[in-house]
Structure 1
Amino acid sequence: MFLRLSQLIVGLILFGAGCAVMVDAGIGLDPWTVFAEGVSTRTGIGIGWVVSITGFLVLLLWIPLRQRPGVGTIANILVVGGAMQFTLPLLSTPDPWAARVVMFLVGTVLVGVASGIYIGARLGPGPRDGLMTGIHQRWGWPIWVGRLTVEATVLVTGWLLGGTVGLGTVLFAVLIGPIVHVTLPIFDRRVRVRPGPTTDPGAPDAMRASAGPAVSAPGT
């Protein structure tokens, strides 16, 4: 458990740092960060703190969806926004457009690797991912429908509030899934066993875990 908690915290810190790199690149963001940037622009609250506040408010939506948070869910709310807020002053936006694209790609890779690390700890989903699965379990919507509906809503809302939508938004949508697909199996903490005569339907879940982990797109 100590190793899993350590992995969780490291992953969440790197996730927040990666989000800060993408913000400073200034070429567009993922839907939830567009929303956080828009709220930050309107209120003057630091974008990292908005991420934390939004995570808490999203967690409240778990109540009618009958979802239960894990340690990782609470840590996600507490750590990601703070790491993001403290990283931003250390960065500066380069002038050349190509350099900004490279900076955004570095941030995306960092977020993808960090997602594999913290999701692989298996200590609970982030509040936004739990919202998607909760909608699926409570109302029977396909997960992709719930995700598309929610993320399209927060993206448009964030854009109207002044959040940055652009090339980075498209790059993130295209790249993040494949990156997590590669990194998650590397850091996955689930116990795996080879099929054999001792592996039966009555065995404990940990002893029957499959070798192919489900991939969940990260939510900040």
Structure 2
Amino acid sequence: MKKETGLRWLFFFAGLMVLGLGAALTIKGQRFGVGSWDVLHIGLFERLGLSIGLWSIIMGLIVITIASIGLREFPKIGTFINMTFVGIFIDFFNWLISDSNTFSVQLIAFIIGVLLLAMGSGIYISAELGAGPRDSLMLLIVKKTHFSIAAARTIMEVVVAVAGYLLGGPLGIGTIVIAFALGPIIQVTLKYSGKLLEKSVKVESVAHGHG
């Protein structure tokens, strides 16, 4: 049982790290636009200062509060860890990876960033240790409207992107790509991450049983 919990936390933190790296890469390739939430975080950063990662945490707190009231359940500890660490990873990778104004470099950064965003989400959600603030909101929309995950995610992304753009965030063709591609890719990664975690848990329990 301890091993299973350890594996879940491993998946959880690995997913958050991949997610933070993906967000930082899309920020580096922002001439194409960034993810909807980052349009909002960058818009707030441009207007009010602080850092992009810190705005990610602040907005996360607000969203968690709304989702908790809507879902009538107190968020798991993992949700708070998620919110905090994604913000920290965004700022860390943003600082670590150097800026480039080259078209091709920004394009590559953006494409890899989008894939990592979706993969990171799928990996950490599969651990079931608490959805991130934005995913809690997505799940609230699913529960209230009976839409699919992909549809709920898309609606949420579009609304947030428009709000971020009005604040001065970098909206581009890439934002639209992320808004429509993220939901479907998350559905796929979630499925495979879940299977991988299940398999790892089984292998661990068999090994533990023979130990």
Question: TM class by shorter-chain length?
Answer: 0.7 to 0.9
Equivalent in the alignment of 2:206: none
Query: Do the aligned partners of 2:154 and 2:180 also contact (CA within 8 Å) in 1?
Result: no
With 145-154 and 7-16 compared, the bigger mean Cα shift is at 145-154
Residue aligning to 1:6: 10
> Among 59, 65, 82, which residue is 2:64 paired with?
59
For residues 116 and 34 of structure 1, the distance between their equivalents in structure 2, rounded to whole angstroms, comes to: 22
Matches within 5 A, 1:138-157: 140-143=144-147, 147=153, 149-157=155-163
Looking at structure 1, the residues matched to 7 and 198 of structure 2 have their Cα atoms a distance apart, in angstroms, of: 14
1:148, 1:181 → 2: CA distance?
13
- SS in structure 2 of the partner of residue 61 of structure 1: helix
Per-residue CA distance 1:17-61 (angstroms, 9 max, x = gap) = 110110011120121111111111111110001001110111111
Determine which of 98, 109, 114 is the counterpart of 1:92: 98
Unaligned stretches of 5+ residues in structure 1: 193-220
Are the equivalent residues in 2 in contact too, given 1:122–1:188 (CA < 8 A)?
no
Match of 1:173 in 2: 179
Moved more, 46-55 or 178-187: 178-187
Judging changes above 3 Å, is the alpha-carbon distance between structure 1 residues 142 and 185 closer, same or farther for their aligned structure 2 residues? closer
Give the number of equivalent residue pairs: 190
Contact kept, 8 Å, 1:9 with 1:118, in 2: the verdict is yes
| Partners of 1:21 and 1:107 within 8 A in 2 | yes
- Alpha carbon RMSD of aligned pairs, Å? 2.2
Cα deviation for residue 184 of structure 1 reads 2.1
* Equivalence for 1:164: 170
Q: Percent identity?
A: 34
SS at match of 2:170: coil
Unmatched runs of 5 consecutive residues or more in structure 2: 200-211
- Distance (Å, rounded) in 1 between the aligned partners of 2:27 and 2:82: 19
- Give TM-score, length-normalised by structure 1: 0.77
Give me the whole-angstrom Cα distance separating, in 2, the residues matched to 1:107 and 1:146.
Answer: 22
Structure 2 partner of 1:35: 40
Shift in alpha-carbon separation, 1:153–1:186, aligned structure 2, 3 A: closer
